[in-house]
């Protein structure tokens, strides 16, 4: 079940807790991908809170939003790069994406296998994907007042198994959202300290979400490869005998 785009926009851009979550996720992503100069960057789901740092230097930035969720224009005050798309039929050519970010796209999908196949299709040689999902052991997955309380939360083992089944190689993972998912003043003031402390702990215990960076695997064909046989055109045969 996809969340409505209005609810996602209100959380990330119009609430203090959402802006803090945006900062935590973006800081962790920038640690992995500090730049994308001359590259094509695509976000799927509701990845716009994380894509702004790449607008200046990337060759192209595209924000794909699934039909059941809805779409909003983004970025504000600049030419729109948001696209409403089918969940498993993206308007992107095969192998043209250098960096792919999924936020609120995988855990809410009812066609996870088809979605991962589409991710694999659009990712180019040497491209990298970043899958961000709720941590099933974290506090954020237990609070339905945030977008991380919807859909199917994952453990690191579950997500990595899914990725390997669809020809992705998990390279590394990071935790995020170590603060308490509450907008109360006490917890908001302590959020920076909790983030610093949490990053020194195992992500599967403390984090509200985690990120898995993966690369695309391309396997060679199995068995003996036979040369392709060329088909020669057959001309029209002339009759060899007169009919009786």
Stretch 22-29: mean pLDDT: 93
User: What pLDDT, on the 0 to 100 scale, is given for residue 85?
Assistant: 95
Strand order in the sheet with 97-103: 82-85, 60-66, 40-45, 97-103, 123-134, 209-216, 168-176
Among residues 97, 95, 94, 105, which one has the least CA distance to residue 67? 105
Kindly give, in sequence order, each residue whose CB lies less than 8 Å from that of residue 236, ignoring residues fewer than 6 positions away. none
Contact yes or no for 26/53 (Cβ under 8 A): yes
36-46: pLDDT as tens digits = 999 999 999 99
Total residue count of the chain as it appears in this document: 244
165-198: pLDDT as tens digits = 999 999 998 888 888 888 888 877 777 777 777 7
Q: Is pLDDT above 80 for 81?
A: yes
What mean pLDDT, rounded, does the chain reach? 86
Instruction: State the Cα angle at 95 between 222 and 121, rounded to 5°.
Output: 65
């Amino acid at each position: 079940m996809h969340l409505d785009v209005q609810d996602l926009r209100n959380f990330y851009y119009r609430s203090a807790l959402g802006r803090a979550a945006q900062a935590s996720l973006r800081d962790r992503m920038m640690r992995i991908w500090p730049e994308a100069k001359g590259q094509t960057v695509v976000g799927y789901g509701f990845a716009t809170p994380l894509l702004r740092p790449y607008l200046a230097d990337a060759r192209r930035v595209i924000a794909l939003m699934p039909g059941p969720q809805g779409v909003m224009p983004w970025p504000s005050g600049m030419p729109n790069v948001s696209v409403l798309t089918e969940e498993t039929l993206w308007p992107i050519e095969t192998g043209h994406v250098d960096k792919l970010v999924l936020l609120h796209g995988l855990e809410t999908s009812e066609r996870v296998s088809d979605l991962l196949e589409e991710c694999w299709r659009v990712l180019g040689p040497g491209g990298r994907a970043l899958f961000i999902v709720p941590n099933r052991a974290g506090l954020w997955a237990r609070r339905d007042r945030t977008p991380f309380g919807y859909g199917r939360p994952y453990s690191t083992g579950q997500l990595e198994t899914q990725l390997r089944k669809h020809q992705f190689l998990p390279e590394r993972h990071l935790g995020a959202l170590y603060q308490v998912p509450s907008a109360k003043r006490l917890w908001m003031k302590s959020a920076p300290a909790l983030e610093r402390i949490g990053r020194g702990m195992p992500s599967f215990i403390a984090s509200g979400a985690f990120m898995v960076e993966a690369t695309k695997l391309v396997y060679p064909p199995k068995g003996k490869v036979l040369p392709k046989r060329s088909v020669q055109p057959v001309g029209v045969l002339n009759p060899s005998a007169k009919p009786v």
